[in-house]
Amino acid sequence: MKIKIKVKGIVQGVGFRPFVYRIAKKNNLKGYVKNMGNYVEIYLDGKKEDIDNFIKDLKNKKPPLSRIDSLEIIECNDIINFNDFYIIESENSNFEEEGTIPADVSICEECLKELFDKNDRRYRYPFIACTNCGPRFTIVEKLPYDRENTSMRDFPLCEGCLKEYKNPLDRRFHAQATCCPICGPKVFLSDGKNIIAEKDDAIKEAVKLLEEGNILAIKGIGGTHLCCKVSEDEPVLNLRKRLNRPTQPFAVMSKIEYINLFAEVDETEKEVLLSPSRPIVVLRKNQNYDKYFSEYVSNLDTIGVMLPYSGLHYLLFDKEIAYVMTSANLPGLPMVKDNDEILEKLDGIADYFLLHNRRIVNRCDDSVIKKVANRFVFLRRSRGYAPEPIEVNVNNDKNILCVGPELNSTACIVKRNKFYLTQYIGNTSKYETFCYLKDAIDNILKLTNTKKIDVIVCDLHPQYNSTKLAEELSEKFGVEIFRVQHHFAHAYSLLGDNNYFDDAVILSLDGVGYGLDGNIWGGEILLFKDGKLKRVGHLEEQYQLGGDLATKYPLRMLLSILYKAIGDEAFNFIKRYNFFSEKELNILKFQLEKKINCPLTTSTGRVLDAVSSLLGVCFVKTYDGEPSIRLEPIANKFKGNIEVEPKIKNNILNTTELIYNAYEMFIYGDSLSKIAHYAHIYIADGLFNIVKKIADKYGIETIGITGGVSYNKIITERILNNANKENLNFIYHKRVPNGDGGISFGQGIGYIINEP
């Protein structure tokens, strides 16, 4: 009996071909296995019973990092005969097939053991890797995923490594990142002008410099980190000053055995931390945190923690329990990855540079995960996850390119029912990041073997750079553009993430999005019924005093809403903060009276920003969402119960009432934590009351929440608890970021649902 099997899924760079070789030999089969670029082809010649056993093994014993999406089995009548089973040379398919390059994988236990084994030839070699671990996506240039198509082609294998690479029974068989100190990449330490140490001496000297309080730029797998010790104020404050990140919390890297010293971590969080993807996980600080960390590492009640994920990272840990490990980029710009760029752009930021000579082909920021409503959600989906596809139960026969939003951007290519999200891109209003988006799109098209595009999907906002890119690509590919409103895209993202396409009422809550009426949306209640989305409620419209300036200076939002509530007294009250001069206040009053540069907004984020400034928590936003993010830990300090009576009319939640009540509580001396908690509960209960009313009206049993505000544990978990009490089904994110990182995915879902 002779058959040919076409295997699609994550079957490259995960030891799949040697696995096929072993089970073929075990089952006495002849033939071959080869990589076809976007799938693996297997030819089998043998007894039917042996082939059946092979297929069972293929399905049930596959490598842990692999994933089989489909098996196509074809009986063959050819006269080709093999005298053994072989792994033969890769080739590209002539047909367009969707496939997957695996994400980068953390160092495995076997390599880690070798790394610290003095008798092993890879002892203390920072680039140690095998079939089960190491870089994938960040080193690949094109398909098929073979060494000559990666940046490892710059390092021809030595005799010892080549022997392992060619041995099907060795765990380094066709491990494209495999190497050793003789033939592999080299690490070196620079002071910015000269190389001052090489190889292991460079790592040992880097550890010493970190202990002395220096800031180091450390080139890793997908980019560069800026690193310093966490225990002293001076290096952390120096890093903040040099990076111009005065308040944004830094992520840290620590070994698993140290985390309990400074953070609360449950078994599920530990499992995610230890997963091969090794994301940053947002953990709650514990009572001993201040013993080990400078107060300037994080001003929240949480700390983002990741484990070492490469040999180089593990070699840094000697005396320190943790290091600040933050992406090496200036605000809004991509993380630097090339040696010349690192030395140039981080000059004056890093004191020393621990670099290596392996090229990073695809930069990839660390992924960030947070536990909300007893499940894990992505704040950022990137290293360790991208570009592995997300499968959705939809019928689609087009290649759809979705270019995403403006901030916290990703792009997405949709092929059949697979959604390939790029790595995290960032703020595409910046030219360098915009270029990064274009490069990432070109790369994802190449890696998914996408030869044509049928439609391009973008945001409704006419001025976004991503919208302009869509128009440019529309001309290039000669295809139509389909536009999806921002908050609708959030809702579609939630539906697709859950493979749920029945009727639902969805809260789409964030800071800003261009609305169907031309105003700024951000607190939207959407009805999904009979396959169509419709806006059926929202937060009260408020004037965003000064337009975009109100997003940077939240006191402007407070002044605007208070002016609506108490008139000119708002200006007398705002003087207590000594933030605006008399001249500025006069200008602001004129603007409000005449409604000059005061666009209307229903943004949930802007309301939370107003409360944040009222309580003196944040007056200047230095990173996305800062005022409301810093407000949440203040609210968490309140342990009592608060009764609220949200004011609602015509499915509109009155937020002037919220701000006025918070103002009165502030005047009468209530604690900041109580006021902050009140604001969160008012929003959560008010929105739930509207959602419940709409659900009852239409006989709907499912509600959901999406958008950046849905990362807020207090609001989301309050709505979840309310839903449980009312026996409503609650849907929430799990595979796709809640925020703008999931917009491109939602744009794809939106097009498929509403295909013209």
Q: Is there a contact between 140 and 447 (Cβ–Cβ < 8 Å)?
A: yes
Amino acid at 483: R
Compute the distance between CA of residue 410 and CA of residue 101 in angstroms, rounded to an integer: 17
Which of helix, strand or coil describes residue 704?
strand
Question: Smallest Cα–Cα separation from 412: which of 752, 145, 153, 748?
Answer: 748
Length of the chain: 756
Which of helix, strand or coil describes residue 155?
coil
Q: Output DSSP code: residue 713.
A: H
Q: What angle do CA 126, 162, 153 make, to 5 degrees?
A: 65
Q: What are the φ and ψ backbone dihedral angles of 704, each rounded to 5 degrees?
A: -155, 170
Q: What angle do CA 105, 107, 113 make, to 5 degrees?
A: 160
Compute the distance between CA of residue 261 and CA of residue 269 in angstroms, rounded to an integer: 15
Q: Which residues contact 159 (CB under 8 A, 6 or more apart)?
A: none
Catalytic residue among 35, 329, 449, 636: 35
Q: Is there a contact between 553 and 619 (Cβ–Cβ < 8 Å)?
A: yes
Exposed e or buried b for every residue in 215-244, given b needs 16+ CB within 10 A? bbbbbbbbbbbbbbbbbeeebbebbbebbe
Compute the distance between CA of residue 244 and CA of residue 246 in angstroms, rounded to an integer: 6
Cβ neighbourhood burial of 71 (10 Å; 0-12, 13-18, 19+): middle
Annotation says 35 is catalytic:
yes
Q: Output DSSP code: residue 645.
A: -
Q: What are the φ and ψ backbone dihedral angles of 196, each rounded to 5 degrees?
A: -110, -10
Annotation says 416 is catalytic:
no
Compute the distance between CA of residue 357 and CA of residue 563 in angstroms, rounded to an integer: 59
Q: Which residues contact 487 (CB under 8 A, 6 or more apart)?
A: 508, 510, 513, 515, 521, 522, 524, 526, 535, 707
> Catalytic residue numbers?
17, 35
